[in-house]
Amino acid sequence: MSFFFLAFSAAWKAACSATTQNPTVVVPSSRNFLVYPLIFYGPCKSSQISFQLIGTISSPSSPSVWWGRDRSKWLTFNGVTGLLITGTGTIDGQGSGWWGQSCRDHPNLALSLISCKQSTISGIYFVNSAQEHLVIYLSNNILIKNLHITAPENSPNSDGIHIEASQNVLVNNSVIATGDDCVSIGDMTSNINVSFVNCGPGHGVSIGSLGKNGNSVKVENIHVKRVNFKGSTNGARIKTWQVGLGYVRKISFEHITLQSVQNPIYIDQNYCDIKGARGNCGQKSTGVHISEVTYNDIVGTSSTYVAINLNCSQSVACTGITLSSIQIRSDKSGQQVISKCTNAHGTNSGVVQPKSCLQS
Ligand SMILES: *[C@@H]1O[C@H](CO)[C@@H](O)[C@H](O)[C@H]1NC(C)=O
Ligand SMILES: *[C@@H]1O[C@H](CO)[C@@H](O)[C@H](O)[C@H]1NC(C)=O
Ligand SMILES: *[C@@H]1O[C@H](CO)[C@@H](O)[C@H](O)[C@H]1NC(C)=O
């Protein structure tokens, strides 16, 4: 096992210090590589470096193997510019051993890009992570495309892609079916686009949760379009804690289809997850300001009665919400769906079904 650790590290070091154009590390199809936590550091000498995954990389499947090791990461690229991760290989988190255990004990069995720039990840299959499958953190100019990410619907915290403290990230043409968010967007993010994604089962595309520690949130220019939600617990969701400050603005969800989605359009500005709350729940005079949010061309079925739920703060209302060309009906014949608004202000255009409840 440590042989593979050394082999990968040595191959990366050689490629990263090569002065040739596009040095490449190849993970061949010949076998399943079992690896312990690995960090591939940049910067590299060449302006582009490739990591070609053809075979399978698996993490140790037994939680006990991780005792005494850093559980926060598994495969990490740190500080690399011009990284190209390609191939049709698989990254297997072997997370099932953790799914029955407390979340705190889970290693973050993910592929992480930390402080990377001008990089692409394409074509890879991800399965069964104990936590997020792909994390983009402190990075800029990242293209993520043609990925397949799957984990069982009941696997806790198995987000597909988590993006945080990053700018200019495009997630395109991917299939994500997991037990948590298909894509989750964290704090300090801007210019993030998510398009041509099939999402579900899972918790939808979520911005948040944000502001949990009373921090000043900065999230803007997030555009989600041509996403198909199927059997997910949410569609387009924004969730913030009342104790938070700052803003979430210039957001759009467009050309979305829904098939039996529980909360197709959902803003929860009163988000509270009792387990991690530390007294941060309940009515507060603070709030993260949510503004300039457009929902356009959203069509399909809801599996619950409240298809549109804009539950905004009493202290810091949502403003500049636009509902345009919305046609959501129940997935059960003969049943109605409704919209519910609390402190949600904005305008409607075109057909809005169920009838809008926005205040001007
Ligand atoms: C995104 O995916 C769509 C659909 O497959 C494709 O037409 C488009 O060119 C892709 N865009 C990028 C930037 O990869
Ligand atoms: C992101 O989406 C916005 C709005 O649809 C668009 O103007 C912008 O060009 C997109 N950026 C990328 C990198 O795809
Ligand atoms: C809105 O949020 C409050 C506070 O969490 C909750 O009590 C209420 O039920 C929510 N309303 C809807 C319609 O979800």
Q: Which residues contact 340 (CB under 8 A, 6 or more apart)?
A: 306, 308, 309, 310, 311, 357
Q: How confident is the model at residue 235 (pLDDT cuts 50, 70, 90)?
A: very high
Look at residue 106 and tell me whether its pLDDT is greater than 70: no
- Ligand having the closest approach to the CA of 172: 1
Q: How confident is the model at residue 43 (pLDDT cuts 50, 70, 90)?
A: very high
Q: For residue 107, how far is its CA from the centre of ligand 3 (angstroms)?
A: 33
CA 126 to chain centre: 14
Is the distance from CB of 355 to CB of 329 less than 8 angstroms? no
Q: What is the DSSP letter of 118?
A: E
Q: Where are the domains of the chain?
A: 1-180, 201-273+284-360
CA 34 to chain centre: 26
pLDDT at 189: 98
Look at residue 16 and tell me whether its pLDDT is greater than 80: yes
* CA atoms within 13 A of residue 37's CA, in its CB half-sphere: 15
Q: Which of 172, 174, 192, 194 to mutate to test the pocket of ligand 1 (most atoms within 8 A of CB)?
A: 172
Q: For residue 148, how far is its CA from the centre of ligand 1 (angstroms)?
A: 15
pLDDT tens, position by position, 158-201: 899 999 999 999 999 999 999 999 999 999 999 999 999 999 99
Q: Please say whether the structural domain 201-273+284-360 has been given the CATH code 2.160.20.10.
A: yes
Q: What is the CA radius of gyration of the chain?
A: 21
Residue 9 to residue 107: CA distance in whole angstroms: 21
1-180 and 201-273+284-360 share one fold? yes
- Ligand having the closest approach to the CA of 142: 2
pLDDT at 104: 55
CA angle centred on 171, ends 324 and 104, rounded to 5°: 105
Atom 1 of ligand 2, nearest CA residue: 193
Q: Please say whether the structural domain 1-180 has been given the CATH code 2.160.20.10.
A: yes
pLDDT at 6: 65
Look at residue 1 and tell me whether its pLDDT is greater than 50: no
Look at residue 280 and tell me whether its pLDDT is greater than 80: no
pLDDT at 156: 83
Q: Catalytic one among 133, 162, 203, 289? A: 203
Look at residue 103 and tell me whether its pLDDT is greater than 60: no
pLDDT at 2: 41
What are residue 28's phi and psi, to 5 degrees?
-75, 170
CA 244 to chain centre: 20
Q: For residue 186, how far is its CA from the centre of ligand 2 (angstroms)?
A: 19
Report the 10 Å Cβ neighbour count for 187. 21
Residue 211 to residue 217: CA distance in whole angstroms: 6
Average pLDDT over residues 12-41: 91
Q: Catalytic one among 92, 180, 181, 268? A: 180
Look at residue 274 and tell me whether its pLDDT is greater than 80: no
Distance between terminal CA atoms of the chain? Answer: 63
Extended strands (E) in 28-104: 32-34, 38-41, 49-53, 56-58, 75-78, 83-86, 90-92
pLDDT tens, position by position, 135-146: 999 999 999 999
Q: Which residues contact 64 (CB under 8 A, 6 or more apart)?
A: none
Averaged pLDDT score across all residues of the chain: 92
**pTM for the model:** 0.95
SS3 of 66, please?
A: helix
Is the distance from CB of 106 to CB of 98 less than 8 angstroms? yes
Give the nearest ligand 3 atom to 311 CA.
1
Is the distance from CB of 198 to CB of 230 less than 8 angstroms? yes
Look at residue 250 and tell me whether its pLDDT is greater than 50: yes
Higher pLDDT, 7 or 297: 297
Write out the two tokens for 250: 């210039």
